[in-house]
A and B are shown apart, each in its own frame.
Chain A
Amino acid sequence: MNIRRHPVSAALAALVIAFLWLPLIAVMVNSFNRDSIMASWGGATSKWYGQALRDHDVREGLKATLIIAIASALVSLAVGVSGALWWRRAPKRARAVYDGLVYARIIVPEVVFATAVFFLFVRFHFRLGLTAIIIGHSVWNSAYATLIVQARLVGLDPSIEEAAADLGATPWRVFRRVTLSSLMPAIVAAGLLAFTFSFDDVVTSYFLQGTAQSPLPIVLFGLIRFRLTPEVNAIGVLVMVFTVALMSLAVTIFATAGRIGRSERSAGFLDMYRR
């Protein structure tokens, strides 16, 4: 049974890959389509890109998105890394509670989480806005960050740290030169991942934005609910290029960090997915 050349299996696989790519190719092609209702090909133009880049809402939305994504990535790292370091030396029961809450933050549907936090803010008269969005994103982002760092901590042999201490390094120096430096790839990957998730988020931002400037995905969400516009395709392509570049960077750093076994790498690789 030589499946490698099995025609039915190959044809099926090709169809599924085509299914995954055709819509994206359609977006790319239409972003250059001169015909503004995209009913047919009206010749090539780059004017939609110009229009997208000049659009006030889009620019302000992008600014808000960048602030939220950077802040939430930093908060998630602080929370996720400190939590993972605590987890490493925590008693067994406490570890189980910690792990349970990490998985719960990932598994609770976002619409339930977002409405619940929205309700908390409204009920206790906290202010909705950028800070609220940053906090909301950090709740699920820190769960992913901690998972990635944990995966790396498991592979870190404590005897290296003990050796450094035996050789006279102060605890702070051991932490900085051994622990932190070997966690670095995981920290960078987790930070980039958190940034990307936050950058792409719709539901949590939608509920927690209040009257503040909408982040870019919400601006896009608003645009496409009214009408089809080629400008959205252009913004989509720009966002696509940006996100793919960032995610590739995150995975490359995480996967080439070495000292991670083959099976662990596959598991870590899968942690990178959500929703």
Chain B
Amino acid sequence: MRFVRQHLLVVPTAVLTVVFFVVPLGLIAVYSFGSINPVSLDVFFGWTTNNYRAFDSSLYLHSLLRSIFLSVGATAICAVLGFALAYFISRQPPRAQRLLLVAVIVPFWTSFIVRTYSWVDLLQNLGPIDRLAGATGLTSGNLSILYTPTAIAIGIVYSYLPLMVLPIYVSLERIDVSIYSAAADLGATPWRQFRKVVLPLAMPGVIAGSIIVGIPALGEYVIPEILGGGKTLMLGNILADQFQTTGNYPFGSALAVTLMGILLIMLLILRRRAPLQEPAA
């Protein structure tokens, strides 16, 4: 009885997590080895690896590589821009720091759809960026960025940049300022101070930021749908299509398992670089 009472509190979490998280993920892991009858759409279990062979086809392999390239690239750009901004913010007086942090966070709080959509306005031909490029003589004719991988990369960097700035800021803000003077007094050049003192101390923040930016970027669905115009696809879109339109559940499941696999590899690489600082608790 005591046991029951003690563990009663975990029942809601356990039910929700097991039934609607563990079971569905297990289900797709199992189905990814099944096969489907193309006419009746019945699923058979023959423990086949055929669903994973689809990556022999260049269409899927390309979208897989594109997803990895776009998410890693966008994360790297976020890290550079985020570091520059976080470093500047951390060196300001406290009041200015707070103001600047709000300026970073508020865009992140606005509707995700609207934030992504705003780039359609900006990037379209005859839009402000296209006109600016034409007026300054950078391009002759149209820029035509919208609905290309570049547009998707811009969208990802834009949407996730605040998530990179904050953890880097937190790790930089903890640094005792006197450590800089110490390095300078000992004769380190500004560049050397940056490379040998600032960068190593900021690394946990960069790693944490890369995890919170890189993971959702890899499985991104909405941004390629809007800024890729349904033409440039990432793994998330092809995966979603298998469930929404094609109805090839085993293949969709194999894509989902593949995505999870890549994600785990990325996580392991990042965690090896520096121990993941788990927030809270």
Contact = CB atoms under 8 A, between A and B. Distances in A.
A, B co-complexed: yes
Interface residues of A, number: 93
A201 to B, nearest CB: 8
Contact of A82 (B10, B184, B252): B10
B31 A119 contact: yes
Please classify the interface of chain A as helix (H, G, I), strand (E, B), loop, or mixed, using the class held by over half of its residues.
helix
A273 interface: yes
B115 interface: yes
A151 B281 contact: yes
Interface stretch (A50-58, A85-93, A162-170, A176-184): A85-93
B149 interface: no
A1 B119 CA distance: 38
Given A83-B13, A115-B28, A240-B110, A26 B121 contact: yes
Interface stretch (B49-57, B58-66, B79-87): B79-87
B57 to A, nearest CB: 20
A273 B163 contact: yes
Contact of A17 (B85, B108, B121, B163): B85
B206 interface: no
Interface string B18-50: 001111110110010000000000000000000
Contact of A147 (B190, B253, B280): B280
A105 B17 contact: yes
Interface in B85-114: 85, 87-89, 91-92, 100, 103-104, 106-114
Nearest to B7: A86
A160 interface: no
A111 B167 contact: no
A104 B21 contact: yes
A135 to B, nearest CB: 6
A82 B226 contact: no
Contact of A142 (B13, B27, B28, B89): B13
24 contacts: A13-B84, A13-B89, A16-B81, A78-B12, A79-B16, A82-B12, A83-B9, A83-B12, A101-B17, A109-B215, A109-B216, A112-B239, A113-B24, A118-B243, A120-B24, A146-B13, A200-B112, A200-B113, A228-B124, A232-B114, A236-B111, A236-B114, A244-B110, A264-B280
